[in-house]
Amino acid sequence: MPRSRLPERFFLAELTSPIGTLLIVSDAHERLRAVDWMDYAPHLQRSLRRLWGRDGVDFTLQTKRATSTLRTPFINYFAGDLRALERLEVHLGGTSFQREVWSALRAVPVGHTLSYGAFATQLDRPRAVRAVGHANGANPISVVVPCHRLIGANGSLTGYAGGLARKQWLLRHEGVALA
């Protein structure tokens, strides 16, 4: 008889930032599983179900104050240490293509932006612009996996799950000059 897997156990913490309350989901090893904004909590729930509620195994979500290991990098980032989030450990679900996109996003330097097309080319997938865009939009770890650094081919700010005003704030905070 096959052994049944236990549900994934996640912890949910809130952190106040200059642009709203962050919801931070981590596991028992203090790896980020998801980060989203309080006003987008339903989006967060959908992401968690999509990524971790498969194979008949669900997850539990317990409210818990974030440890300093998780809290401090966010506090430092919003205070101006723009590389502080690079030190956070993430555990990404998703497809192998999504994980490839999300990992590559973490390599886009602070203060830089790329168009979706340039990013797809950088991934050696120049014809996969739409797929890159979909993977970017499905990113479960906002800000840390910096999907906000991808912009339209004409330099315009395009969709961001946390809202375009936040995307604009994050880019300006990182030193990107916007038109």
Q: Is residue 55 very low, low, confident or very high in pLDDT (cuts 50, 70, 90)?
A: low
* Percent of the chain predicted with pLDDT > 70: 94
- Over 60: is that where the pLDDT of 1 sits? no
Domain range summary for the chain, segments of one domain joined by +: 8-87, 96-173
Say what angle helices 96-105 and 129-137 make with each other, to 10 degrees: 80
Q: Which of 32, 35, 143, 147 is catalytic?
A: 147
How do residues 23-40 score in pLDDT, each as one tens digit? 999 999 999 999 999 998
Pick the CATH number of 96-173 from 1.10.150.120, 3.90.170.10, 1.10.10.10, 3.30.230.20: 1.10.10.10
pTM: 0.90
Distance in Å from the first CA to the final CA of the chain: 62
Q: Is residue 49 very low, low, confident or very high in pLDDT (cuts 50, 70, 90)?
A: confident
Backbone angles phi, psi at 122, to 5 degrees: -60, -35
- Over 90: is that where the pLDDT of 158 sits? no
- Over 90: is that where the pLDDT of 14 sits? yes
Tell me which of 175 and 60 has the higher pLDDT: 175
Q: What does the pLDDT read at residue 60?
A: 83
Cα→Cα distances 123→17, 82, 114, Å: 32, 24, 12
175 a catalytic residue? no
